[in-house]
Structure 1
Amino acid sequence: MSVTPSSPATPAPDVADPVVDALQTTLAAEHAAVFVYGALGAQTSESGAPDLYAALTAAYTAHRTRRDDLMARLHAAGAEPIAAEPGYALPADLATPAAVTTRARELEEAAAATYAYLVASTADDARGWAVEALLDAAVRGLGFGARPDRLPGL
């Protein structure tokens, strides 16, 4: 004879939401990008390298906007956005415009790869937003010397 327990069943452990996980991963990358772009801008002279300074400022603003959008999406999904780290590693030598440009290109290539992961992990509106972010990072990377790629981020 089977006996049914009178106490409520133990709830199943929380199952991770792959979309929220992908949004959190992307948010972590944007936190890093905002930090690093701030440092790159601080290493660049607005009067000595005005085009580079303008490109870095535009990139900083774009990544800050993406970061804020990701935080809003996570809040809308009922998740607490992860916090930024207290600091991020920077290359030792950022003394020349060429070194700063190389680091900015690497940041955009990494952002494209992260957004490609988000595209693969989402659907509908979130995927459309991720595709736009991927394309934005790929095009910005070209401005910093990245090579054109048929499938950026992959």
Structure 2
Amino acid sequence: MTVLDALQTTLADEHAALYAYGVLGARTSQSATPALYDAVTAGYRRHRARRDQLRAMVEDAGGEPVAAAAAYDVEGRLLTGRQVQAVALVIEEGAVEVLLALVAQSTTDVREWALTEATWSAAWQLELGGTAGTWPGAPELG
């Protein structure tokens, strides 16, 4: 896999994450669950910025950024705050794995950026009710 391929894979994952966070935001109430609303909003903003940065990186690498799909499946029921939180946690777990694959395929600035973003998603899992793991993004090492 080339760096460009890894960037495109990461960008595609960010498109899906943004879609999912949009769905989560629609299932969250700022007045009823303000902490969850704030967490979902912060996650959406971070992933939007990440997507925009990845588009620029793909172009800098000579590629045409992969487009988002018209829709994505959002796994899980979204009737309660706990269910919304659980889906957000799954998004961040997946993001860490994809970003660490980009770390493995890249060097210099791209690698540093991907590691920073993977660290954010790993730490954000704690904000979403997850637990600290020894090797976030690498379940095979646990």
On whether the aligned pair clears a TM of 0.5, the verdict is yes
1:82 to 66, 69, 76: 66
Matched, 1:139 2:123: yes
Q: What runs of 5+ residues in structure 1 fail to find an aligned partner? A: 1-16
Identity of aligned residues (%): 44
2:26 to 29, 36, 42: 42
Counterpart Cα distance in 1 of 2:100 and 2:72: 22
Q: Counterpart of 1:39 in 2: which secondary structure?
A: helix
- TM-score, normalisation: structure 1: 0.87
Look up the match of 1:72.
Answer: 56
Counterpart Cα distance in 1 of 2:4 and 2:128: 31
Q: What runs of 5+ residues in structure 2 fail to find an aligned partner? A: none
Q: Looking at CA atoms only, which structure, 1 or 2, has the larger radius of gyration?
A: 1
The one-letter code sitting in structure 2 at the alignment partner of 1:99 is Q
Counterpart Cα distance in 2 of 1:91 and 1:113: 18
Look up the match of 1:111.
Answer: 95
Number of equivalent positions: 138
The one-letter code sitting in structure 2 at the alignment partner of 1:80 is E
Task: Provide the alpha-carbon RMSD of the alignment.
Answer: 1.0
Please report how far the alpha carbon of residue 91 of structure 1 lies from its aligned counterpart in structure 2 after TM superposition: 3.0
- Larger relative helix fraction: 2
> Contact conserved, 2:76 with 2:87, CA < 8 A, in 1?
no
Counterpart Cα distance in 1 of 2:107 and 2:75: 36
